[in-house]
Amino acid sequence: MLGIDIDGPVGEIWCAAADSVATADDGQQRTLAEWIAADPEGMLGQPLVAACGPELPIVIKLIDTREAPSVQVHPSDTYARAVEGGPGGRGKTESWLVLEAAPDAVVYHGARANPSDGLIDAFDSPAILDLLEPVPVRRGSVIDVPAGTIHTIGPGIILYEVQQRSDLTYRIYDFGRGRPIHLDRARDVSDTAAANPSWRRWLDIDSETDALVTEMPPYHCFLHHADHEETYRNVADVCQIVTRLDSGDNEPVGTTFLVPPSNRITLDAGCWAIATPRPEGCRRPANGNESKHAATNKPGASR
């Protein structure tokens, strides 16, 4: 089980990442990377290790936007491999499931349907927001953000995120915060076409029925509603990451389990997201060294 210990306000909680501290049934604690290194195939499953190497290729987060993060874009695997040399040559595709949203909450997701020729010229300017598609969101909104999609999350939103394990983020506009802007690389990788409407949909997460959240090349994720305390068995041949999306008597929101193949865990009644990495959407690292861009487990990490 991956524990979450929060002191003060944070923008992000990294529920499952390499440096997350995980507690075994016997109470022993190690980082998730240390547990995996001790038994890669036992923890991750042979197909995932063969495809990705001995590391978890996805990251699970909870994000709370009291204010909008930067307007940003992430590279593809191909660009990351050629230009950045990131871990495993991995870019970043991510997906969001909105858990709470203010009445007027929006995300900006790709270019507007008929973007002007000035989209790229508006980088590092507040005018960029006028050229992106504002998408109203509510509890249950699902947004897929493939690599190359310009995006930001508006204020007043709490969401669950599953993403590729990569910290390659190119900021386009940062609302005057003074952090580095990455214009050249953002221009290289940004898709200036309108986002595919199928990347936006709504899911009734209060219906108490299991449902697919998203299915992307690097991962898929579904909701599981436990009516009462139950034993859940991972029947996949790779690991699964199981995260609580509501509060229960014994587990807070964000409680997360890594469940190896064929293993069982006990789930309290409630709503759980179950994310599964896909070996076919992964590249094995070229060597055993992490790049300077490797994701770290820092609640409140900058976006």
Q: Does the annotation mark 171 as catalytic?
A: yes
Which of the residues 66, 112, 165, 171 is marked catalytic?
Answer: 171
The model's confidence at residue 283, banded by pLDDT at 50, 70 and 90, is: low
Place of tokens 């900021």: 171
User: In this predicted model, which residue has the larger pLDDT, 233 or 251?
Assistant: 233
Backbone phi and psi for residue 254, each to the nearest 5 degrees, phi listed first: 95, -10
Q: Domain locations in the chain?
A: 12-281
> For residue 178, is it left (φ>0), alpha (ψ between -120 and 50) or beta?
left
What three-state secondary structure class fits 205? coil
pLDDT digits (tens, 9 = 90+) for 156-177: 999 999 999 998 999 999 999 9
Q: How far apart are CA 39 and CA 54, in angstroms?
A: 9
Alpha helices for 104-222 (secondary structure H): 183-189
Q: What is this structure's pTM? A: 0.89
Place of tokens 């299915």: 215
Place of tokens 């997360």: 256
Widest CA span of the chain, in angstroms? 60
* Residue 278 to residues 46, 151, 162, 205, Cα–Cα distance (Å): 12, 24, 12, 24
Check pLDDT > 60 for residue 265.
yes
Check pLDDT > 70 for residue 117.
no
Check pLDDT > 60 for residue 294.
no
E strand or H helix that includes residue 37: helix 32-38
pLDDT of residue 143: 98
Query: How confident is the model over 98-108, as a mean pLDDT?
Result: 97
pLDDT digits (tens, 9 = 90+) for 49-95: 999 999 999 999 999 998 889 999 999 999 999 998 755 578 999 99
User: In this predicted model, which residue has the larger pLDDT, 85 or 150?
Assistant: 150
Check: CB of residue 267 under 8 Å from CB of residue 63.
no
Taking domain 12-281, whether its CATH number is 2.60.120.10 is answered by: yes
